[in-house]
Structure 1
């Protein structure tokens, strides 16, 4: 039997899935990690340990499963996972696949990120992460002044922000000085792993379209004149689409991963877009709402457009475009809260939050614990908890966290137009409370798919398409249920939203002073 593997390097873990060519999940593997936060506004990862080593581990686990001799029907836990187990179920491989062959692999990753590596693919420094790393504030201002804010918005589809790679490359060049050598290359998370697997240096169009201001969203090509003006001599990788084959596994990578020499490797893309692809968000008007360490939004567009405050990008499929937005901290706040309250079982904390009425009995939380991307674009924003009294407990805090995130989601969804269908994905959809609160605050129905593995499942589909095993329009997703707004909470949440919206500007100056300490 033939199998494909999808691998996703996320903010909190590396996940991989082994699938048949019709989308049946056979085995999964996971390794946890976390960003390093060495200074305020900085977020980094170790490309060797957090990316390459963990990818080799999950690939070895899944290739062992694929080559196992036990019968396919004995796959332990596979049926339960295929029904849509969330993040909590992604721990270790499950079962085997009766002497199968892995015929393709695709990798996605958190992003856009940037790591500088030498000609032997040895990183010269930790990887700088996506919009949660705001160190390049000075470079954002300088490039905006040099090229013009309106020109950047029109050509690149978005304003420069901490999400953009161009300012981070400028920061690296300035900081590295002579340490940036002619044979150095720069990578995002998944393209670094692809280089380690195949020896090929490429970048998919979607990730390139977040390398502002160096990509022309209308031409869907590098803006070489702006590259030469800003970072003369910067070498650019060839551009490919996410389901194109970019190389094959070489001998050293085969020894490290258990994959066969010559196994096709597919380009992949940023994790959120792979996740959108995994749940069939592929038609104009489709919007994915991803519940994870951060909340992320991807809407498919009929044509490129420029919307201030949002990000227009190239999509997954050739010639496609998407509109996106992202919050800086979401699910990561719930992890922080669980640790802060003594590490009690999350199910206990969730049950306590579910017992609290809508509005958290007068508690409001701004979820800007790591600054904020959309909708306020303020790297110096910080979390605020307002209305605390002695009667509030940890359940109130979790519910207020969900409600604060939901208010941010409402602000962002209000800036999208033409949305016809919202698909909710990610581990945060499990348990139901968070997704229900988001529907209640936004008034929007959310389709929850049967399979909620996430980006790695989308990678497996990209691999199957990329090797020609299935047609490009293949869609493996099936709807499980729809989350419908509860009208009884509407008045409470309209009042909460008004307070939430007023709280940020009312505290901004004081928070900025605190952020500088």
Structure 2
């Protein structure tokens, strides 16, 4: 019998299931969408029952697409959006729609969490913050304070990940991945954040959180009979713990060793690195101990607006020009766009400055400059932002290998500019759906096909191409990057 595994990616707009063989080859996939409601400014909600319905549709569709006998699927694992908070009754039925990851109604509660100064906040810029309203504690506190009747009925409070695990196995088990990076659980410094919870009158959250947890790659158990029927899988299929989509995407990119970095691109950028040691410093998030791999630390940075800046430019200033033409015109110009400098803080800065009021800028304009110059400057500014974050990681992280996923892998000019500004090669893998593949690798480990995640990555992740930096361009960018670094302080003075 040939063994196959299933990776399930619960995203913001849909749930996708993908069947893989043990070499990491994708055999078939299917996606099922669900709706998001925005009942008020800053609010974003989804119906958890819609996730479960989508899981049945997507899983069955992926199996049909793959042509695989469902009896040969040994295990599955899920990745999901992180900080998507669910409240369930004793029976596991939602008592309200979830608070989706992008929901920021708990901004005042986030300020209250930060004001405690609790040692558990070391993962938030070394204690300086911020605590994002997207995270678990602000959202749970908002429910308790604003919907006490819902809170009274909520016997279980967890995440999208935990809801799927409960529906699949009947067990209420948290992911160590989410706990360490968004719940303030500390594997090396005291475990559960009981003192922090007490200071914000949220001690009763502990009774609602899962009492059990499992690290990524650990087996939770087989499917229940009802779940097996719903998903079209054998009851013998093992459910293996996953975690947050971007972090499980690190596994799907083969980012496993100290000095490895996942550069996840899209409307925003996320930088996730395997650190050399534990560190907690201003301007970065983490490090998170044992978050993805045992005995390793993950460091996190992020840019709020990247691909969204380029989409803004095209929408407003070049709606009838193809991206290929924009990129070709920009690539014909020299590094530095002949004196133009762009700052990418169109929606504030997440790291390393952590300033929601920071704003974008284009400076150095002359009558010589064209739309191609502006476009190139915007791309370069985004790439400088990535370099700024990696520089802010400090001595705890030395970038030795960078693997890219997301929209930028389809834009050669953008990839080359990233490589040139960093002065480092970039790798692109064969499988673009890194979170799905990461979940499949975890499933393969849980099924016993590989002894650990490292071995699973070695067998199932392959590099398809390498973008080599132009070191002459890198040298030309050095003084321009210094100007970019100075621009944040100069622009801040203008709004003080």
What is the Cα-based RMSD across aligned positions, in Å? Answer: 3.3
Q: Which moved more, 1:234-243 or 1:320-329?
A: 320-329
Distance in 1, Cα, partners of 2:328 & 2:404: 21
Aligned counterpart in structure 1 of residue 292 of structure 2, from 304, 313, 316: 316
Match of 1:73 in 2: none
Out of 456, 464, 467, the position equivalent to 1:474 is 456
Q: CA deviation at 1:410?
A: 1.0
The 2-side partners of 1:50 and 1:394 are apart by: 44
Aligned counterpart, 1:153: 122
Question: How many angstroms apart in 2 are the aligned matches of 1:423 and 1:444?
Answer: 8
The TM-score, its normalising length taken from structure 2, stands at 0.84
Report the equivalent of 1:227. 197
Match of 1:426?
A: 405
Partner in structure 1 of residue 380 of structure 2: 403
Q: Is the aligned partner of 1:326 residue 2:302?
A: yes
Q: Which residue of 1 aligns with 2:486?
A: 502
Asked whether the equivalents of residues 164 and 210 of structure 1 are also in contact (C-alpha less than 8 Å), the reply is: no
Q: Is the 8 A contact 2:161 2:175 kept in 1?
A: no
Q: List gaps (5 residues or longer) in structure 2.
A: none
Task: Tell me what 1:74 maps to.
Answer: none
Q: For 2:423, which of 443, 452, 468 is the aligned residue?
A: 443
- What whole-Å deviation, never above 9, does each CA across 1:221-242 have from its counterpart, x for those lacking one? 3223332343021122122101
1:478-508 CA-to-partner distances (Å, cap 9, x unmatched) read 2333322223323553343234333333334
Shift of 1:307: 2.6
- Map 1:383-402 to 2 at 5 A: 383-386=360-363, 395-396=372-373, 398-402=375-379
Distance 1:143 1:263, change over 3 A: same
The answer to whether the 8 Å contact 1:425/1:452 transfers is no
* Counterpart position of 1:20: 21
Rounded to whole Å, the distance in 1 between the matches of 2:86 and 2:347 is 21
CA distance in 2, matches of 1:329, 1:218: 33
Stretch deviating more after TM superposition (9-18 or 276-285): 9-18
Per the alignment, in what secondary structure is the counterpart of residue 482 of structure 1? strand
- Give per-residue Cα distances to partners, 1:294-325, cap 9 Å, x unaligned: 32222223543323322211322334322222
Deviation at 1:419, TM superposition (A): 2.1
Check if 1:176 corresponds to 2:156: no
1:103 equivalent among 74, 83, 89: 74
Give the distance between the partners of 1:396 and 1:206, measured in 2 at CA: 42
CA-to-partner distance for each residue in 1:267-310, whole Å, 9 max, x for gaps? 10111221111222222222222223332222223543323322
Q: Does the alignment pair 1:236 with 2:209?
A: yes
Q: CA separation in 2, counterparts of 1:400 and 1:460?
A: 39
- Measured in 1, the distance between the counterparts of 2:260 and 2:426 equals 11
The number of aligned residues is 478
Give the CA deviation at 1:363: 4.2
TM-score normalised according to structure 1 size:
0.81
Deviation larger for 121-130 or 321-330: 121-130
Whether the 8 Å CA contact 1:112–1:210 is kept in 2: the answer is: no
Change (3 A) 1:468 1:123: farther
Deviates further, 56-65 or 337-346 = 337-346
Q: Is residue 140 from structure 1 mapped to residue 110 from structure 2 by the alignment?
A: yes
